[in-house]
Amino acid sequence: MSDTTAGAVDRRRVTIAQVAKRAGVSTSAVSHVFNGRPNVSAATAARIRKAADDLNWRPNLASRKLSGSAGRSLGLVLARSRDTFQRDPFTMRLIAGLTEPLAAIGWSLSMTLVRAEDEAEVYRQWWTEQRVDGFLLVDVRTDDPRTSLLQHLSAPAVMLGSPVPGSTIPAVTVGDADATEALLDHLGALGHRRIARVGDGPTLAHTGSRDARFTAAAGRRGVDALVLDWRAHAEDPVADLLGRLDGATAIVLDGEAIAAEVIAHAPELGVRIPDDLSVVAWEDSWVSSIVRPTLTALDAPVEESARTAVALVERLVRGDEVTDAEVSGRALHVRGSSGPAPSVAPTTTPTQATRATPTEGDR
């Protein structure tokens, strides 16, 4: 590495004035061209664009923002631990899905991970210092303080998930009804009469609504529905969960990370998949295909949700009217982890033997 006197930018930064001069016009002409304003002749516009290109100039975002335009940045604040974030393929898909539509409108994604207790402060800060033009809310909880905070700040925001009653934040929802039916049809056809559902976390808004829909759909079919929670902090969360199955022969889990863990560990606890227990995940990703057996999963149109959310935020920022949106297309991908219900339900109390392979590699 050399002695770059870095920071000491030599060449002064190109400004609109230099571009204007080079093109032989006023700065406002340049501004007009770069903002799609009509009052410039085609010839002049071309000359201006040429000059800008020659100088490799682009409007300075800060100046632009200062004089009223949007800063073209979407804020994504995730209240997750590093660990939870890392093992969540859904978030990866979301981020990947956001960048393309954002780039298409000249925006970028500003993201961060925060501890739950810092969450509100980060939203406040990013908004008041004008770091971002709006936010995308994920992992919305029941009674989430963010909805009122953002309304209070009058910060544009769009959320992923079911609309929150009493909030004016537009929601992008993935229709779950069809998928729930398809899922229960699938498991029903395989002979399962008692099915457990495990949410991502009892405080998450979507957990509750899925629980309700699931229970209702099961009831309609005369199938027993069991709603369980995932105790991430249990000594052995998988064993803990399997111990509470209470005769269920199939289990549906939000999140592939958890589902993958069940698939990986269950055999070591004496529960064979899918022979003893069928496992289905409510999200899908490449992880489903590298576990064995491969994971039957409900694939959500994450990319379309992202695209829709970006469009809504952009409209909000422009001051347009915006309403909730629903994207559909959650599809059931049947793979190896779901199979015929066993004639005898799996042992209610799994072998207490220590796991063959402890959760090494976890951090």
Partner DNA sequence: GTGAAAGCGCTAACAT
Partner DNA sequence: ATGTTAGCGCTTTCAC
- Number of residues binding to its own copies, judged by CB under 8 A: 99
Tell me which of DNA, its own copies, none is bound by residue 17, counting a contact when its beta carbon lies within the kind-specific cut-off of 5 to 8 angstroms. DNA
Of the residues 2, 4, 5, 41, which one makes contact with DNA according to CB under 7 A: 41
Which structure tokens are listed for 137? 């809310």
Task: Report the alpha-carbon distance of residue 254 to residue 280 in Å, rounded.
Answer: 9
Is residue 86 part of the contact set for its own copies (CB under 8 A)?
A: yes
Q: Which stretch binds its own copies (CB under 8 A): 17-25, 95-103, 178-186, 339-347?
A: 95-103
Strand blocks (E) in the chain: 73-78, 108-113, 134-137, 157-160, 171-174, 194-198, 224-228, 250-253, 278-281, 296-299, 325-327, 331-333
131/220 with CB nearer its own copies:
131
Closest residue by Cα to residue 196 from 234, 236, 253: 253
β-bridge pairing 296-299 and 331-333: antiparallel
Tell me which of DNA, its own copies, none is bound by residue 38, counting a contact when its beta carbon lies within the kind-specific cut-off of 5 to 8 angstroms. DNA
- Number of residues binding to DNA, judged by CB under 7 A: 32
Shortest CB 221 distance to its own copies, Å: 27
Q: Which stretch binds its own copies (CB under 8 A): 24-32, 112-120, 218-226, 240-248?
A: 112-120
Using CB under 7 A as the binding rule, the residues of this chain from 59 to 118 that contact DNA are 59-60, 63-64, 66-69
Tell me which of DNA, its own copies, none is bound by residue 165, counting a contact when its beta carbon lies within the kind-specific cut-off of 5 to 8 angstroms. none
End-to-end CA distance of the chain: 34
Amino acid at 53: D
Shortest CB 55 distance to DNA, Å: 10
Shortest CB 105 distance to DNA, Å: 15
Shortest CB 114 distance to its own copies, Å: 7
Report helix, strand or coil for 228.
strand
Of the residues 45, 109, 149, 182, which one makes contact with its own copies according to CB under 8 A: 109
Of the residues 82, 233, 235, 352, which one makes contact with its own copies according to CB under 8 A: 82
Report helix, strand or coil for 118.
helix
Report helix, strand or coil for 158.
strand
14/264 with CB nearer DNA:
14
Bond from prior residue into 342 cis (ω within 30 degrees of 0): no
Shortest CB 17 distance to DNA, Å: 6
Task: Report the alpha-carbon distance of residue 26 to residue 33 in Å, rounded.
Answer: 11
Using CB under 7 A as the binding rule, the residues of this chain from 11 to 40 that contact DNA are 12-13, 15-17, 24-32, 34-35, 37-40
β-bridge pairing 108-113 and 134-137: unpaired
Helix, strand, coil shares, percent, the chain, to 5? 40, 15, 45
Is residue 347 part of the contact set for DNA (CB under 7 A)?
A: no
Report helix, strand or coil for 165.
coil
Which structure tokens are listed for 256? 């592939």
Is residue 44 part of the contact set for DNA (CB under 7 A)?
A: yes
Using CB under 8 A as the binding rule, the residues of this chain from 238 to 277 that contact its own copies are 257, 260-261, 263-264, 267
Q: Starting from the edge strand earliest in sequence, which strands make up the sheet with 224-228, in order? A: 224-228, 194-198, 250-253, 278-281, 296-299, 331-333
Shortest CB 82 distance to its own copies, Å: 4
Is residue 46 part of the contact set for its own copies (CB under 8 A)?
A: no
Report helix, strand or coil for 263.
helix
118/224 with CB nearer its own copies:
118
Tell me which of its own copies, DNA, none is bound by residue 352, counting a contact when its beta carbon lies within the kind-specific cut-off of 5 to 8 angstroms. none
Residues of the shown chain interacting with DNA in the complex, contacts defined by CB under 7 A: 12-13, 15-17, 24-32, 34-35, 37-41, 43-44, 57, 59-60, 63-64, 66-69
